[in-house]
Amino acid sequence: MKDIVALVTGGSRGVGRGIALALLAEGVTVHVTGRTRFEAEAKQAGSAGSLEGLELEAAKLPGRLSVHRCDHASDGDSERVCEAIRAGGRLDILVNNAWPGYERMVEDGEFTWPRPFWEQPVWRWEAMIGTALRGAFMTSRALAPLMISAQRGLIVNISFWAAQLHEGNAVYGIAKAAADKMPLTSRMSCAPTMSPPLRFIRGSSAPKPFLRTPSIST
């Protein structure tokens, strides 16, 4: 897969980092976005993972890594990364993984996740819908033409089974259902311009047990 070029958003930690490392292990050229550039920043914020740490792991692998400091809450940041990808002239795989929706789970000593929808903090909607979902749409929108012109490409939206079943948080279910729907409707838009159409994968078919990431410790 040494000629393949991929972009993984939100890849400094967690699922995105794992995907990026798996692609790099296969010799893929991988672009990765993340908000945390250096390990010192991560430690200061009390979190785990940075683009710097990913670079250290990637140095042992055959693929080539390019990191981009990017906050997908900013359309300008997303567009800057997409412009760098377009300048390279090729993209085969886009993985929309950036997800700030698990931050600030405890507020004023209270775990707010199970609150009814009318008591959910508005910031959670903005994080899951305004940042994660919008970022996936804006990045796909900016880069799909590059794939269409090449008549090849795969777009993956990382999702979860909460798209179909109630998981305990209304905003989360809405966001994941939309993440699932986006590939289905987007594929229909591409059908007249590609044969076969641009390929999309929705990632909500993963088994129900949680993936062990820095945010899931048990």
Measured CA to CA, the distance from residue 127 to residue 101 in angstroms comes to 5
| Sign (positive or negative) of CA dihedral 56, 57, 58, 60 | positive
* Residue in 94, 172, 183, 202 annotated catalytic: 172
Yes or no: say if 39 and 63 are a contact pair by the CB < 8 Å rule.
no
| Sign (positive or negative) of CA dihedral 162, 208, 158, 211 | positive
Residue with tokens 């914020």: 45
Measured CA to CA, the distance from residue 19 to residue 28 in angstroms comes to 11
Q: Answer yes or no: 102 catalytic.
A: no
Active-site residue list:
172
